[in-house]
């Protein structure tokens, strides 16, 4: 499907704008009458041909936890698109948007046997969404739970996998840097890796010059690879990213044709990478928004 067959959502005077950490930001162009980022999510469902039940998740989550409280990610690995939803509540143990609450909201769509660790001080969690899951060909077997990394010299988080019948399993570490003030720290963190021989790479191969004038750069250490995220890029930078990572042409065209209706937003993108032999390989990429 090359064009959206669903009604587009437009901003209102009540709209508040958030990045993928649910941190509020000021639009970079006048937002009145322009498009919400949820349109990019809905269009990705259409391009991928996912079950129509996917569209029902958006009103269900809005009704259950509120408008602009769910962060979405569209991920591409190889030729496959998948999705992840992220939920934040920085009040930790005093949270209202809990794993238990969200799983109950999603129960009509996604069965899940994972039990939440509601006594833990997590500030965020996420769920992977696939066509098989929503079509009833599988059950959600894992929830990703994030806690703070006390003692880190920069803002940092640790991700654990929660699965049915077993305790938390360590997954990833995330470190947040000011993209313009902490360039040396970013380069040092990228180079300090079990998955790279930094002496055989130029930093520009990972910290892309075309994106590094963003607000925040996140460097992640993961089990099988590392990751980098660029937060607060423009719509033109988003298009550059999608083209470089060879996203479906229909996704790119949808944004290009509506660029003037999407230029008020900032966007967030990410890459997973590692060296295989002497080559730097990008394993997975993603872009993010909020509904």
Mean pLDDT across 145-156? 92
Q: Is residue 31 part of a domain?
A: no
Total domains, the chain: 1
pLDDT tens for 43-57 read 999 999 999 999 999
**For residue 107, with 0-12 CB atoms within 10 Å meaning exposed, 13-18 middle and 19 or more buried, which class applies?**
exposed
Question: Nearest-CA neighbor of 37 among 265, 269, 238, 220?
Answer: 265
Check pLDDT > 70 for residue 244.
yes
Mean pLDDT across 140-154? 92
pLDDT tens for 17-30 read 999 999 999 999 99
pLDDT tens for 174-189 read 999 999 999 999 999 9
pLDDT tens for 279-288 read 999 999 999 9
Q: Is residue 219 part of a domain?
A: yes
DSSP code per residue over 165-224:
TEEEEEEEEEEEEETTT-HHHHHHHHHS-SS--GGGS-GGGTS-TTTTTSSEEEEEE-SS
Q: Is residue 7 part of a domain?
A: no
- Contact (Cβ atoms closer than 8 angstroms) between residue 69 and residue 114: no
Six-digit token pair at 176? 């947040």
d(CA 239, CA 253): 9
Q: Is residue 119 part of a domain?
A: yes
Mean pLDDT across 220-230? 97
Q: Is residue 59 part of a domain?
A: yes
Per-residue pLDDT, 4? 52
Q: Is residue 20 part of a domain?
A: no
Q: Is residue 248 part of a domain?
A: yes
Q: Which domain holds residue 263?
A: 38-290
Per-residue pLDDT, 115? 85
What's the 3-state SS for 93-107? HHCCCCHHHHHHHHC
pLDDT band at 197 (very low <50, low <70, confident <90, very high): very high
Per-residue pLDDT, 2? 42
Per-residue pLDDT, 253? 98
pLDDT tens for 103-140 read 999 999 998 889 888 999 999 999 999 998 998 888 88
Mean pLDDT across 219-234? 98
Per-residue pLDDT, 111? 85
Mean pLDDT across 189-214? 96
Average pLDDT, the chain: 94
Q: Is residue 28 part of a domain?
A: no
Mean pLDDT across 20-42? 97
Mean pLDDT across 194-206? 95
Mean pLDDT across 222-244? 98
Check pLDDT > 70 for residue 1.
no
């Amino acid at each position: 499907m090359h064009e959206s067959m669903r009604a587009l959502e437009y901003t209102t005077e009540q709209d508040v704008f958030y990045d993928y950490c649910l941190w509020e930001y000021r639009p970079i162009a006048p937002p009145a009458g322009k498009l919400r980022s949820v349109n990019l999510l809905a269009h990705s469902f259409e391009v991928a041909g996912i079950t129509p039940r996917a569209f029902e998740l958006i009103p269900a989550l809005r009704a259950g936890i509120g408008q602009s409280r769910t962060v979405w990610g569209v991920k591409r690995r190889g030729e496959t698109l998948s999705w992840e939803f992220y939920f934040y509540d920085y009040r930790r143990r005093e949270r209202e948007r809990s794993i238990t609450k969200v799983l109950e909201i999603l129960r009509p769509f996604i069965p899940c046997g994972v039990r939440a660790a509601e006594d833990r001080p997590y500030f965020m969690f996420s769920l992977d969404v696939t066509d098989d899951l929503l079509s009833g060909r599988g059950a959600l077997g894992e929830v990703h739970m994030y806690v703070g990394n006390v003692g880190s010299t920069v803002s940092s988080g640790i991700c654990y996998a929660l699965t049915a019948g077993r305790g938390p399993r360590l997954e990833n570490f995330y470190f947040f840097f000011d993209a313009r003030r902490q360039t040396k720290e970013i380069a040092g963190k990228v180079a300090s890796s079990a998955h790279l021989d930094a002496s055989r790479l130029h930093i520009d191969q990972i910290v892309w010059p075309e994106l590094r004038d963003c607000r925040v750069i996140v460097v992640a250490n993961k089990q099988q690879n590392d990751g980098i995220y660029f937060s607060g890029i423009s719509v033109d930078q988003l298009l550059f990213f999608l083209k470089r990572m060879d996203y479906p042409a229909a996704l790119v065209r949808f944004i290009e044709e509506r660029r003037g209706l999407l230029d008020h937003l900032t966007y967030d993108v990410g890459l997973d990478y590692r060296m295989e032999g002497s080559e730097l390989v990008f394993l997975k990429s993603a872009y993010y928004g909020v509904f």
